[in-house]
Amino acid sequence: MKKFYRKSQVLLLALLLTGILAAQAPRALHDSFFDDSPPPAPEQKTPTKSGENSSPSTQEQKISPQEADELFHEVDEILKFASKDSGLPVKREVKRRLTNRDEVVAYLEKNMREDKSAQRVQRSELVLKKFGLLPHDFKLSPFLVGLLREQIAGYYDAKTKTMNLLDWVPAGQQRPVLAHELTHALQDQSFGLEKWMKDGGDIDKKKEITPADIVADEADETKQAIVEGQAEAVMLDYALAGTGHSLVDSPEVMAALDKDMMDGTPDSVQFRNAPIFLKESLTFPYRYGVEFVVALLKTGGKGKAFGGAFADPPRITRQIMQPETYLSGERIEPMPLPDFKEVFKGYDRFDLGAIGEFDTYMLVEQYAGLEAARRLYPHWRGGYYYSVLPKEHPTAPLGLLYASRWSGEEHAEEFAAVYARSLTQRYHDVHPTEAADENAPATDKLEGKHTWQTEEGAVVIEVKGDEVLVLESLDEGTSRRLETDVFALQSR
């Protein structure tokens, strides 16, 4: 579902956001584990509106040439630490350069302006709004650029093989981030990050979609969790190096980091005000990734947690969120798919993909809260969506098929009730088509079939056994065909 996060052009965003999120770890370490003194006060900046052009670098104090020179020299020492901590060898020297905020933001904006990237973000935005994960008036591209303007830290560029040090960030704050980013350099030297991330193909380019394609659609999220989780683990070990502890024996650090990442720092206004979906999506590879890496460290050591994870990466987000399922070799049977071309003859395909365990977690958190999300997500057993536009009315509301499978009927009914409650939050005008549906959104469980009319057309939610089928803004004939086909496939 998180198309804006998956695409290679916008992947740059995740690499740069490493600085925002990784920089919070030393603060969590400082505040919550070792030191009772207050953290340094954040730099005072004038907040900018999302997408607003400004030149913060002109208002910021630059690090001195001597500090920059010291940082350049420390790259090699920190690279050695990262290599020892991860077991990944240093194969060559890492190039380094000092850059300013305007250069970084200009680089990002150039990539965001490219036609393909812009189209992908726009498509993702419409689907996310259909699910209610973004407000209807939310502008995703300006938000992402604004977030980077607000706070960026150093980053490793896999294209140029260069460690970019930042001239506006105090040297002391860049050192732990260097440990994170230089781990990316080691990953790149051993496995070729760009190629490794792209292996597996792009579901958008495929004309015929198979169940295996749906499963593979989560690979970018799981791989990014490996990349960032490993780097986060090394960075935290670097911060702990003088204490005699490591991340494996410091659960307090993990707990503090998890909270700090979701709360944001005092000067990260954009992030703190972001919708839940964006906060969760942007922090997923760091928060869950580092927990996954620690689980592998405890069971198989560095070889399994670093090189082993690249050789045999998790396939679905369930394996990242629940490392025991990866370690046990659990395999969930892919959900069978209807003949999309045959069923949607009157429609053009708009977007499609997996709705995995993490996507499900976010949907439930959005509409039922964190406690319900944590209770329900482990019971996910499969999910996909397929969105369309009518051929004769391309400006009509987006049509949606969403099917999910659960560990049992009870959890399917609970999720269906959560989804039903979302309707009044996502649509302005919601009317049940039968008297039995009037109280359905308020129930804890939803059984059987229920229908509503909204300003964007009909909504059908149906539960059969362990499966939930959702149809939105489709014509009646197509909906009936899907109800028959989807459930018939599950019964085979």
Give the DSSP per-residue string, 406-436: ESSHHHHHHHHHHHHHHHHHH-S-EEESSGG
Average pLDDT (29-57) is: 38
300 CB neighbour count, 10 Å cutoff: 13
Taking a C-beta distance cutoff of 8 angstroms, is the pair 153, 173 a contact? yes
Are 178 and 67 contained in the same domain?
yes
Q: pTM for the complete prediction?
A: 0.87
Taking a C-beta distance cutoff of 8 angstroms, is the pair 62, 167 a contact? yes
Are 318 and 346 contained in the same domain?
no
Are 180 and 99 contained in the same domain?
yes
Domain that holds residue 227: 3-36+57-327
259 pLDDT higher than 90: no
Are 230 and 352 contained in the same domain?
no
Are 113 and 13 contained in the same domain?
yes
First to last CA, the chain: 27
Strands 457-464 and 467-472: what pairing? antiparallel
58 pLDDT higher than 60: no
Are 315 and 422 contained in the same domain?
no
Are 110 and 225 contained in the same domain?
yes
Looking at residue 185, its pLDDT comes to: 97
Question: Which residue, 303, 327, 351, sits at the end of a domain?
Answer: 327
Looking at residue 491, its pLDDT comes to: 64
For the chain, the domain total comes to 2
Q: How far from the centroid of its chain's Cα atoms is residue 481's Cα?
A: 33
Question: Which residue, 273, 295, 327, sits at the end of a domain?
Answer: 327
In a domain, 48, yes or no: no
Are 303 and 375 contained in the same domain?
no
Average pLDDT, the chain: 83
SS3 call for 350 = strand
C-alpha angle 373/374/380, rounded to 5°? 75
Single-letter code of the amino acid located at 459: V
Question: Which residue, 327, 349, 373, sits at the end of a domain?
Answer: 327
- How would you label 96-130 residue by residue, b for 16+ Cβ within 10 Å and e otherwise? bebbbbeebbebbeebbeeeebeebbebbbbbbbb
In a domain, 393, yes or no: yes
Average pLDDT (149-156) is: 70
The pLDDT confidence band at residue 434, using thresholds 50, 70 and 90, is: confident
In a domain, 45, yes or no: no
In a domain, 46, yes or no: no
In a domain, 334, yes or no: no
In a domain, 484, yes or no: yes
